[in-house]
Amino acid sequence: MSEDVEELRRALESAQGELSAMRDVHEAALARVRAEGDQAVIAASLRAEAMRLGAHNPDDVVRLMDRSEVARGDDGEVRGVAAAIERCRRERGYLFSAGGVPGTASGSTFAVAAPRPGEAPPFDARKLSDTDYAARKWQFLAGK
């Protein structure tokens, strides 16, 4: 009986050792996945801010900029995006447009041209009120 207990203890210690090793491997993998996820969220936030500020190619802005001060907090919020993009805009102004020009493409955005005035709808005297009809009739007769 004592041999069975000792054998069970050895099996338990072996299983606990394997469990500890597996836990370490999984914690390292989880940390790697979290870091990759944080970097993806940070890159997306930087890309969105670069587009908002008129970057010609937001992906190039994200690749070329210094991201050392941009971090994702425990609450999931990305901090330092606006300051980093502004610093990049000052240092590498050629990556950004001077301003939105109507009717031109800029990066992945398209500035819509100002609308042109349309043509007046055709005149239909049958749809006028009596007072408007009388006023139009007198305008027409006065023009002759």
What's the confidence (pLDDT) of residue 73?
Answer: 87
Does 138 fall in a domain? Answer: no
pTM of structure: 0.56
Does 43 fall in a domain? Answer: yes
Q: How far apart are the C-alpha atoms of 89 and 82, rounded to whole Å?
A: 10
Does 101 fall in a domain? Answer: yes
Residue range(s) defining the domain that contains residue 27: 2-110
Q: What are 21-66's pLDDT values in tens digits? A: 999 999 999 999 999 999 999 999 999 888 888 888 899 888 988 8
Does 37 fall in a domain? Answer: yes
What domain count does the chain have? 1
* Interval 66-88 mean pLDDT: 88
Residue 107: CB atoms within 10 A of its CB come to 21
* 117 pLDDT tier (thresholds 50, 70, 90): confident
Does 132 fall in a domain? Answer: no
Sign of the torsion angle spanned by Cα atoms 96, 99, 104, 109? positive
Q: How far apart are the C-alpha atoms of 94 and 113, rounded to whole Å?
A: 24
